[in-house]
Structure 1
Amino acid sequence: MSAEPAEPAGPAGDAHGGGLRKVARVVLLDPEDRILLLHGHEPDDPADDWWFTPGGGLEGTETHEEAALRELAEETGITDVELGPVLWRRRCSFPFAGRRWDQDEWYYLARTSRTATGTLGLTELERRTVAGARWWTCRELARARETVYPTRLAGLLRTLLDEGPPARPVTLDTEIV
């Protein structure tokens, strides 16, 4: 499998199944413009792994912004952030944990001065499928041989760092795995 997880490492928050899942993700940058990515894998196959931005599904009447901040806190322990604009939007569909997930993802820019992370808010499935977190430079990301989602993240990050946030969210190519 080479799919992106919906929660930190899987779509654990969508118990009802079916339909298009609304997801808020965070492109979290530190003072050195490094991006935080989480390392996840398929529940029963740690070798089937990938890197991805923190984030997950909206709960109840939550806004995308509220979900982005909640998910970031749950998955990383980082709460002292400045949430910026929506950078990108993406639709994706992938198998994970025995089912197919169809998602509408919004990627928010956020900045933090804190680089220590913790995972106290993970669900049971997330605890089984999140292998850690790492801060990546743009150069490291561009050279990575590991699977990273969204697939063009290195180029998107380079454009963001060179040109700043887009005037309105950029719609990324749909990814279907």
Structure 2
Amino acid sequence: MRQRPAARLLVLDQQDRVLLFRFFHSSGALAGRSYWSTPGGSLKDGENFVQAAKRELHEETGLNAPFLSSEIGQRTFVLTLASGETVLADERFFALRAPETTLSSSGWTPNEKNVLKGHHWWSRRELEQTTEIIFPERLLDLLTTALSGDLP
């Protein structure tokens, strides 16, 4: 099974709300699936996790990362991609405080334009009360870790 290393981001606004994107797959192996997830994606050749986190942040949000936390979490699991390929995902999580909440989709890939259907800045209370599917499953634990760290 191919390994797929990826960097994921907890992007927090000034009110400690976390940015999540809504994904909806209209075709492929995940057709009909809808869920919310943090920004991020797989590493490119030669990248480390921090470099990938900064690149993904800019591509998916238009924001630049003046400060990233050290790694605040990691998870490894079997993931089925939209193509149907099954991979061993190795995700590393980083956090940052967004300088603003206005986002840009100008760096989105064609696939992202197809599956990303919106975003929302979620409060802790909303996360605790939602019935929506949210990834990662331990997002509230990661949020607690991020907020206990050295975020400006």
| Distance in 2 (alpha carbons) for counterparts of 1:80 and 1:114 | 11
Matched residues, percent identical?
Answer: 34
Kindly tell me the number of residue pairs found equivalent between the two proteins: 147
Unaligned runs of 5+ in 1: 1-17, 167-177
| 3-state secondary structure, aligned to 2:96 | strand
| Distance in 2 (alpha carbons) for counterparts of 1:46 and 1:136 | 25
Of 22, 27, 49, which aligns to 1:39? Answer: 22
Q: Does 1:20 pair with 2:6?
A: no
| 3-state secondary structure, aligned to 2:68 | strand
Match of 1:105 in 2: 91
- Residues 27 and 35 in structure 1, CA contact (< 8 A), matched pair in contact too: yes
1:1-177, aligned counterparts within 5 Å? 18-44=1-27, 47-97=32-82, 98-158=84-144, 160-161=146-147, 164-165=148-149
| Distance in 2 (alpha carbons) for counterparts of 1:71 and 1:159 | 21
* Counterpart residue identity of residue 63, structure 2: I
| Distance in 2 (alpha carbons) for counterparts of 1:80 and 1:19 | 29
| Distance in 2 (alpha carbons) for counterparts of 1:25 and 1:62 | 14
Q: Which structure has the highest helix share of the two? A: 2
| Distance in 1 (alpha carbons) for counterparts of 2:78 and 2:116 | 20
Q: Which structure has the highest strand share of the two? A: 1
Query: What is the Cα deviation at residue 47 of structure 1?
Result: 4.2
| Distance in 2 (alpha carbons) for counterparts of 1:165 and 1:110 | 10
TM-score of the two chains, using structure 1 as the length reference:
0.76
- Residues 22 and 104 in structure 1, CA contact (< 8 A), matched pair in contact too: yes
- Residues 43 and 125 in structure 1, CA contact (< 8 A), matched pair in contact too: no
Query: What is the Cα deviation at residue 27 of structure 1?
Result: 0.8
